[in-house]
Amino acid sequence: MARVVVKDLSKTYSNQILAVDRVNIEIADKEFVVLVGPSGCGKSTTLRMIAGLESVTSGTIEIDGQVVNDVPAKNRDIAMVFQNYALYPHMSVYDNLAFGLKLRHFPKKEVERRVFEASEILGLSDRLKRKPKELSGGERQRVAVGRAIVRKPKVFLFDEPLSNLDAKLRVQMRNELQKLHKRLQATMIYVTHDQIEALTLGDRIVVMRDAVIQQIADPVSLYESPANKFVAGFIGSPPANFLRGKITSKNGDFFFSDGRMALKILKQHSERLRPYLEREITMGIRPEDIYDKLFAQDASEDFTMTATVELVEPMGSEIYLYFSAGRNNFIVRVGNQDTATVNQDLQLVFDMSKALFFDPDTESTI
């Protein structure tokens, strides 16, 4: 396997559209790195440049210590799995898996060994004689992954491979990809717009927006310590709430206030927020860090506010409550034992130790 280093990588198309802007990523040997972001952020273009399917405008790509900018895709020793499977419909599963090896004139016994090994790993041993049309969506995707495995490349690249699967199959394939990574001990780079996929699959996650990397971190750090408001809102489901208000001071303590409510700011945040005193600011807090006071009765009034339920959305094991409070709207995630109803006023407790604060101009985390 191999280490992949991307330095100051940029891509500009002929119509002067900047698709990727000075991207820097170091991917360790055997690491699983996920590129995530909204459509048009540059993640797939970055992956395609690593694969050699897109030319590089500036910057360098190193695979296993070798700069590969001018190396053709077929000579980079990478294997790519696409969104649309790209299987040959007239070939059996066996022939689809073997095709690339036969093109490279591998000995017949080596082809058989690799195909049977890959089919065993992916649970396709009893499907080798079938045509793609006789397979389910998940099985077709496994064949596409198997075609990459038999190559035994230095790097595996995945371009939104689960997008065409239904929800249940996506969960199943995510689990299979995790097991596959542990079994193969391979370097893998995975592109998706689905932040749940990113959080569950990646050793580290690269969050992109408008051609630029916003943050690179492991899933827990990304969730708990986002670099800016965009990352906080993009990672997590439901996304983080953003409340607008001012930092105020009373008796030596700082509060976040929107004129209707005031939530006490903990000492751990106070010094960083001192420059924002009496200024408009954005506070972020995740839906699971706000509680119905009925289930947190010992909480201080300093961390409590009253808001009106606008919508109740049962999700099975939990409930999403949508609130309106002055100029702010937000979501609270509660257990399914909560009996809140629409138009009911609820007292809510904010876990201010989990609060995030963002600069109103740069949107960076303070």
The percentage of the chain sitting over the pLDDT mark of 90, rounded to a whole number, equals: 72
Indicate if the pLDDT at residue 85 is higher than 80: no
The answer to whether the beta carbons of residues 207 and 33 sit under 8 Å apart is no
What pLDDT was estimated at residue 92? 95
Question: Residue 210: CB partners within 8 Å, gap ≥ 6?
Answer: 21, 40, 41, 42
* pLDDT tens column, 122-140: 889 999 999 999 998 888 8
Question: Are 118 and 110 a contacting pair, CB within 8 Å?
Answer: no
For residue 1, name the pLDDT band (cuts at 50, 70, 90): low
182: how many CB neighbours lie within 10 A of its CB?
A: 11
Q: Distance (Å, rounded) from C-alpha 70 to C-alpha 89?
A: 33
Section 225-254 average pLDDT: 93
Return the domain boundaries, the chain. 4-234, 241-358
Domain 4-234 has CATH 3.30.70.1400: no
Question: Each residue of 51-61: pLDDT tens digit?
Answer: 999 999 999 99
Question: Amino acid letter at 219?
Answer: P
The CATH number of domain 241-358 is 3.90.550.10: no
The tokens describing 243, both together, are 């409340």
